[in-house]
Amino acid sequence: MLHRGNGYGGWADGSASVRLGWGIWQGFDTVTAPGDLDGDGKPDLLARKPTGELVLFRGNGKGGWYSPGGTKYTTWQSGLNVRQPNPTCDAFPSTTNCPTIIGNLNTTTQFTPICQLVGSGVGGNPYWVRIVTTTNLTGWIAGYYVNYTENQLPDVPNCIAETRTTYTVWVNNVNVSETSTGCEAAPSTTNCATPIDVLNNGDMFTPICQRTGQVVNNNPYWVYGVSSNGQTGWIANWWMDYPDNRLPHLAICGNYNGTQIGTGWQTYSGGLFAPGDLNGDGKADVLGIKANGDLHVYYGNHTGPSYFSNAGGGTVIDTGWNMFNKAF
């Protein structure tokens, strides 16, 4: 659950919680917030399984995760270059600004978009897409080469500019329904039967994610989000003041399982924690304590597959940390 701060030393909406996911989190023994690990400017989460797998959950900056529905695409161009991010490339992607090639995509290789941005146009399409590949490489490709009929990909946010996240309701007596297992799997008036709020014409609703469910006036989409009264639940998309069935740049709800970026992290039995940028390079770092008290640092580099420049065991920077019963 997310408790949103108000920026003034307190909580927004009386600390009303927002559900970020369901069905998987009991499988982790440690969760830590390193900040922006993948370099897109949005805070992320790291979670460790008892068996040592380290899983990255990429935040979308809007109370949810990128690509929760696991939306994947392919390219129609075989051998397409995946280009390494850098500050110049991230501001305006082009072959010149993104000169370093870190991998290639074939026509059968699936990838997941992280975000999209206008750059140097290719084939009449001005958009470039920041992606993560099935081998956990993170980089840029020109949107022209993606197997999709339009220039912009649906449900993929802009890498820099914030998109509209709050909508008005255009009728009275719209129920915001409490979430439940049945409602999450197939939202409908039957499965989402417990109202927790009522919105009227002009009230606001901030979406977190959307998915298909019961068709309401020819619109199959339902939206999970936060009402202007601070209640988190579901409403049919039909009641939102937007002309299309599906809201733009909004992820599909689902059990997002994250991206595994490492193994063997169970060796840090003394704890995992994230101090922020420890070495002053502007990138988030992670610390781990082994049973013998050795303190290891992993320096973030904003680049997959591991997102650490010293992923092979980290770097020992101190000893004796087993004297502390908790570090955070």
144: number of Cβ within 10 Å: 19
Percent of the chain with pLDDT over 90: 55
216: number of Cβ within 10 Å: 17
**Full-model pTM:** 0.59
Q: Which of 169, 172, 173, 188 lies closest to 242 in space, CA to CA?
A: 169
Which positions of the chain have pLDDT values less than 50?
Answer: 68-70, 164
- Where do runs of H (alpha helix) occur along the chain? 87-91, 181-185
Helix or strand holding residue 305 (H, E): none
Q: Which of 85, 96, 106 lies closest to 41 in space, CA to CA?
A: 85
- For residue 20, what pLDDT is reported? 60
- For residue 62, what pLDDT is reported? 63
- For residue 14, what pLDDT is reported? 54
- For residue 25, what pLDDT is reported? 78
Distance (Å) of CA 11 to CA 7, 128, 188: 8, 37, 31
* pLDDT tens sequence across 3-29: 667 666 676 655 556 556 555 678 899
- For residue 159, what pLDDT is reported? 80
Hey, which residues does 273 pair with through a beta bridge?
A: 287
171: number of Cβ within 10 Å: 11
What lies within 8 Å, CB to CB, of 171 at 6+ separation is: 200, 201, 239
